[in-house]
Amino acid sequence: MNFFITGTDTDAGKTFVTALLTRSLRKAGFDTVAMKPISCGEPGDTLALQVAADNELAIDEVTPVSYSAPLAPIEAARLEGRTFDPSEVMGTYARLRASHRSLLVEGVGGWIVPLTSTYSTADLAKEMNLPVLLVVRNKLGTLNHALLTLESIKARGLTCAGIVLNNHPSDVADPAREGNGRLLAELSGVPILFEIFPGQTDLELAIA
C-alpha cells in the first residue's frame, strides 16, 4: 500500500485524505506512515500526517524540506536563497520505503508544481515511481482539472490507481457534485476509490 497522493489543485483535500487513509490503513493492520516531502508556510499539514501515524516519525522525516513563505516552492526557496535538490527528499523516502510495508507520499499543491525551473512535483513522483492517487474537489470544474491531470500522469509513464472525490463543505450547493464521480469514471476509465464527506474520520477498507 504505497502511493503518491496528488491533487487537481491547492485545497483539493490532499492532506485530509492522506491522513484519513493513513489512520485507516493502520487500523487495518498496516504499518503505514505518511510524508509530505516539501512544505511551504505553516507546518499544519506536516503535523496532521505525523499525528495520523501515531507520531511514529519525526517532523523532519515527514517533511525533509520546508520553506517559510506560503508560496509556490520555487518562489519560497528563492526568497531564502535556496534551490530545491531532490536528494534532500529521496534519502528520507528510500529509508522509509525500506523500513515500512506501507508509505503514503503527499505532493505539494497540484500535479505539476515547479520545484525548480527544470523540476516539478510530477518529476518527483516519477523518481519515486509510485502508483498515484488523485484527489479531486467535487465541484464545477472538476472534470477539466481531473482529466488534464490524469492525462499528464499517464504521459509520464505512471499509473493512476484511483480517484478520491472530496466533498468540501463550501461546495455542498454545487449542482455539479451529483454527476462528477459517474462522469469521471466513464470518461477516464480510472475508478473512484472513495468519496469523502466533511467530518469523516475513517474509511471502510476492503483489503484481502
Is residue 142 a part of any domain in this protein? yes
Is residue 203 a part of any domain in this protein? no
Which pLDDT score, from 0 to 100, does residue 207 have?
Answer: 63
Is residue 206 a part of any domain in this protein? no
Is residue 138 a part of any domain in this protein? yes
Residues 36, 28: Cα–Cα separation, whole Å: 22
Looking only at the bridges linking them, the beta strands covering 3-7 and 132-137 are parallel
Which CATH number is 170's domain given?
A: 3.40.50.300
3-state secondary structure of 167: coil
Q: Is 199 exposed, middle or buried (0-12, 13-18, 19+ CB in 10 A)?
A: exposed
Is residue 130 a part of any domain in this protein? yes
Query: Residue 13 sits in which domain range?
Result: 3-196
Do 105 and 94 contact (CB within 8 A), yes or no? no
**β partners of residue 33:** 103
Q: What is the domain count for the chain?
A: 1
What residue type is 151 in one-letter code? E
Is residue 35 a part of any domain in this protein? yes
Half-sphere exposure of 167 (CA within 13 A, CB side): 17
Q: What is the DSSP track for 65-109?
A: EEESSSS-HHHHHHHTT----THHHHHHHHHHHHH-S-EEEE-SS
Is residue 204 a part of any domain in this protein? no
Is residue 207 a part of any domain in this protein? no
Which pLDDT score, from 0 to 100, does residue 65 have?
Answer: 98
The residues assigned a catalytic role are: 36
| pLDDT by 10s per residue, the chain, length 208 | 899 999 998 889 999 999 999 999 999 999 999 999 999 999 999 999 999 999 999 999 999 999 999 999 999 999 999 999 999 999 999 999 999 999 999 999 999 999 999 999 999 999 999 999 999 998 888 999 999 999 999 999 999 999 999 988 777 777 777 888 899 999 999 999 999 888 888 887 766 5
